[in-house]
Each structure stands twice: as structure tokens, then as C-alpha cells.
Amino acid sequence: MTTTWSDVLSWRMEQSGLSERAGSVTEVAETLVGVHAQVASSAEIALSLRGMGVAPTSVEQALWIDRSLIKSWTARGTLHLVTPVDLALWCGVMAARGSYWDKPAWERYHGVTARDMDRVLRAVAEELPGHCFTRVELAERIGKASGQSQLAERIMGSWGGAIKPPAYRGLLCFGPSEGRNITFVAPSDWIGDGWEPVEADEALATVARRYVTTYGPITKADLGRWMGVEATLARKAFESIADQLVPIDVEGEARFTTATAIDEISAKRPRDRVRLLPAFDPYVVGVLEHLERLLPDPKLRSKVSRAAGWISATVLLDGKIVGVWRYERTGGSIEMTVEHFGRPSKSLRRSVDEQIEGMRNLLARLPEQSEEPA
């Protein structure tokens, strides 16, 4: 089959929950296979845009009361909100990477040897169950349990590099914050005794299948970048579902998708659908490998994928990124600015203005959040 990027992006917009609101925040997170949560407000906006009847407290309720969403490091080593089932899958994916911290580059960057990292893993497994520790408390426990006091200092590093491996192994996830201090709990405590990581091969195949369903059509490079795994594992994941995929030509590019998607992509759908997406929205993050296909001009990539890994808030028109936006809270009000990529039509400007008003109301309902860096 041959198709166009215009049809692909319009279909993908629907697959990403940006057509009609449907489902709870948990169901939305499941569809997206996790929501980037390094910026908490962005995650809440991404879920609110897609969920049905989502209130400002819905995400907090799901995280800390219902425990139907879990906060942890998953894809690409970044913070995500995922369902308990998907956390088990992501732990399986990361387990497939093995002890990647035994590389010299790891020690140079984090200042932690492979032997010390093994000590951290053992200490977390022994000390965290039955407790809810702040980062300081966890660091102190690990330092004492391992007999390596210097590990406490490493664990206090702002980006938590030395405690990501325990998260990948399913030994810790985030608990409710204590003021500005983040906390950690054992998933087996927080989710339930029956929770455990999924076996690696099964996890790779399942996550790959889920990815192509929401973010396809894909290539192996797309899958590998999104997962955050080495090329060999991306290839293994891709090949594990290859018999379920069919080739598709997207304006001369060879890609793969599901048989169901083939019919759906070519179907007629509404046009001129406009959405304002938050920074780090899964729709954009999920396809960074070919971000240029979402832009009217490839030279605009730096407007969206910026320095230090920052992904801008974007304006979407039928799946195409046609601008970026930002906001600032000043004197009790919210000022929003839109940068269009080119001269917008009157209908686009009108739709964007309507979206701005809705986004301003949503932002006003979200609490300003400030906590120690994760």
C-alpha cells in the first residue's frame, strides 16, 4: 500500500487520543504506553486533553489514592506515568538490557562502579520494602547497608542516575511527595504482592506491538529511539512482531504497520482539527526519529526539539505541527503566546484562539508544582 504523510498523521492523531475525549486517565496512559512526566503539569495536561470528565485532581487521585498510575523511570530513562501493568512491561524491557552499568562510560559519567551498582541494587531490595523513604533517607540507608558511605552522595545527584537501575529492575518507584521532597516505595508494596516484572522477551514484543498500534507506521530506528534501547534489542523487538506487520510506503519511505491500520489510514476523516499540546506530549515524543515529517519545513526542527532535550509545547493541525506556544503566570493571570510556522489562515487562527482559551482555563485549574528534581 502507498499512502501520504498527511493521512498517516491524521490517523495517528486519532490513535493518540487527540480526536475525541474518551476514557479515564488510566486508560489514556495505557493507550499512550506511558506519559512523559519530567514536567508534572505537562503530564497532567496531556492526560486531561484526552480523558473524559478529567478533573484537576484526577491524576493525583490515580497516582496516590487509587494507585492506578505509577510514577517511575521507564522509556529512555525518563520519568513517566504508567499503569501498573505497563510498569511491569517496561521493567521487562529494561531487564533485557542486562547490567549496562558495567561499561566504563557509566562509571565515568556517574562516578559509580559496576560493583558499587550491584551493592545499590542489593541494598534497595533489602531496605526499601515496607518503607516510604525520601531521597535523603534512601541514600543514607543504602550507604549504611552497602558499607560504602560515598554511595549516598552519588544517589543524591539531581538526576538520580544511580537509582534508575533499581527502578528498571522493579525494586522502586515514586511514592507521594512529602512537601517538596520526593519519596520512593517498593512496587511490590505499593501495587500489591502479586506485582512483578514481565519476562524480557515477552515485554519487548508486547511493548513493540503497542508502539506500532499508537505511533505507527514505524521503522526499527523509530522503535529503538522511543524505547531507549540498543539497536540489537530494537531489532529483536521488531522481529518478534514482524509476522504481525505489513509493509507500507509513505511517500517513498518503507515503513511497517498493522493490517488493521492499513484500512484505517486510508479512511476519510474530519479535517481542520486543531489541538494545543503541552511540552513533552507523547504524540511528539513518540516520533522524534522522524519529527521532520510533522513539520512544514525540516529547518523548524530546533523550534520543537530544543537544547538539553526540551520538547516544546506545539500547535497541531490534522496531525501536523504548525506552531509552538508557551505560557507565563504573571500577577494571578496566565499569558499565552503562539508562534505560527507561516501565516495562519483565518479559520486556523480562530481555532487556535478557541484552544488558547480552553488551555488557559485548564492551566488555571492546575496547581503550581514545585519539588526537588527527580
State residue 369's pLDDT score. 60
Specify the pLDDT at position 209. Answer: 98
At residue 149 the predicted structure's pLDDT band, cuts being 50, 70 and 90, is confident
Which pLDDT tens digit goes with each residue over 35-75? 999 899 999 999 999 998 777 689 999 999 999 999 999 99
Does the pLDDT value for residue 182 go beyond 60? yes
pLDDT at 23: 87
**Average pLDDT, rounded, for the chain:** 92
Q: Where are the domains of the chain?
A: 98-190, 274-365
Confidence of residue 108 (pLDDT cuts 50, 70, 90): confident
- Per the listing, cell 487509587 goes with 66
Please state the rounded mean pLDDT for residues 108-136. Answer: 91
Give yes or no for residue 158 having a pLDDT over 70: no
DSSP state of 30: H
pLDDT at 159 over 60: no
Q: Give yes or no for residue 190 having a pLDDT over 60.
A: yes
Q: What do you get for the CA distance between the two ends of the chain, in Å?
A: 45
At residue 302 the predicted structure's pLDDT band, cuts being 50, 70 and 90, is: very high
The pLDDT tens digits for 342-366 are 999 999 999 999 999 999 988 988 8
- Residues 304-332: tens digit of each pLDDT: 999 989 999 999 999 999 999 999 988 88
Q: In sequence order, what are the beta bridge partners of 305? A: 311
Q: Residue 255: its pLDDT value, please?
A: 97
Alpha helices, H only, the chain? 5-15, 25-32, 40-50, 58-60, 84-95, 104-110, 114-127, 135-146, 150-155, 164-168, 187-190, 200-215, 220-227, 231-240, 259-265, 282-285, 301-304, 346-365
Query: Is 180 a residue whose pLDDT tops 80?
Result: yes
Amino acid at 57: T
| Residue 210 backbone dihedrals phi, psi, to 5 degrees | -65, -35
| Cα angle 160-90-188, degrees, rounded to a multiple of 5 | 80
List strands edge to edge, sheet with 333-340. 274-277, 313-317, 320-330, 333-340
**At 87, is the pLDDT very low, low, confident or very high (cuts 50, 70, 90)?**
very high
Across 234-262, average pLDDT = 97
Cell numbers at 331, concatenated = 500577577
How far from 295 is each of 9, 204, 223, 309, 342, CA to CA, in Å? Answer: 11, 30, 20, 18, 11
Amino acid at 247: P
- Judged against a pLDDT cut of 90, whether residue 82 lies above it is answered with yes
What are the residues whose beta carbons fall under 8 Å from the beta carbon of 65, sequence distance 6 or more?
Answer: none
Q: What is the pTM of this model?
A: 0.94
Q: How confident is the model at residue 16 (pLDDT cuts 50, 70, 90)?
A: very high
Element (H, E) at 23: none
Query: Comparing C-alpha atoms, which of 202, 217, 306 is closest to residue 266?
Result: 217
Residues 6+ apart with CB under 8 A from 219: 254, 255, 256, 289, 290
Band (293; pLDDT cuts 50, 70, 90):
very high
The per-residue pLDDT for 266 is 87
For residue 160, pLDDT over 80 is answered with no
Q: Which of 54-63, 154-163, 196-205, 287-296 has the lowest mean pLDDT?
A: 154-163
Structural fold of domain 98-190: Arc Repressor Mutant, subunit A (1.10.10)
Report how many helices (DSSP H) and strands (DSSP E) the chain contains, helices first: 18, 13
Determine if the peptide bond prior to 344 is cis (ω within 30°). Answer: no
pLDDT of residue 306: 95
